[in-house]
Amino acid sequence: MELSSHLITASAFDDYAVNEMILAEKLIDSTPDHSLTLFDRGFYSLGLLYQWQSTGNERHWLIPLKKNVQYEVLRSLGRNDKIVQLKSNPHARKRWPELPYELEVRLISRKINGKEYSVLTSMIDPMRYPVADIADLYVHRWEIELGYREQKQYMLGNRLTLRSRLPELVKQELWGILLTYNLVRYQMVKMCHQLKGDYLPYQLSFNGSLAHILRLLVGLPYSTPGAIPRQLKYFYEMAESLILEPRRTRSFPRTVKRRPQKYARNKKCQ
Structural domain tally of the chain?
2
Q: Which of 67, 65, 141 is nearest to 107 (CA)?
A: 65
* pLDDT number for residue 250: 63
Q: Which of 80, 106, 141 is the last residue of a domain?
A: 141
Give mean pLDDT, residues 104-122: 86
In a domain, 34, yes or no: yes
For residue 270, pLDDT over 60 is answered with no
Name the residue with higher pLDDT: 248 or 173: 173
What confidence tier does 259 reach under pLDDT thresholds 50, 70, 90?
Answer: confident
Give mean pLDDT, residues 12-39: 90
Q: Residue 122 has what DSSP assignment? A: S
* pLDDT number for residue 139: 76
In a domain, 263, yes or no: no
What confidence tier does 86 reach under pLDDT thresholds 50, 70, 90?
Answer: very high
For residue 180, pLDDT over 60 is answered with yes
**What residues are paired with 111 via a beta bridge?**
116
What confidence tier does 36 reach under pLDDT thresholds 50, 70, 90?
Answer: very high
In a domain, 146, yes or no: no
- What is the domain range of residue 223? 161-242
* pLDDT number for residue 269: 60
* Stated pTM of the model: 0.81
In a domain, 248, yes or no: no
Between CA 232 and CA 220 the distance in angstroms is 10
For residue 135, pLDDT over 90 is answered with no
Between CA 177 and CA 242 the distance in angstroms is 22
In a domain, 33, yes or no: yes
- Asked whether residue 24 falls in the same domain as residue 137, the answer is yes
Neighbours of 163 (CB within 10 A): 9
* pLDDT number for residue 237: 86
pLDDT-wise least confident of 80-94, 101-115, 117-131: 101-115
- Asked whether residue 100 falls in the same domain as residue 213, the answer is no
* pLDDT number for residue 251: 67
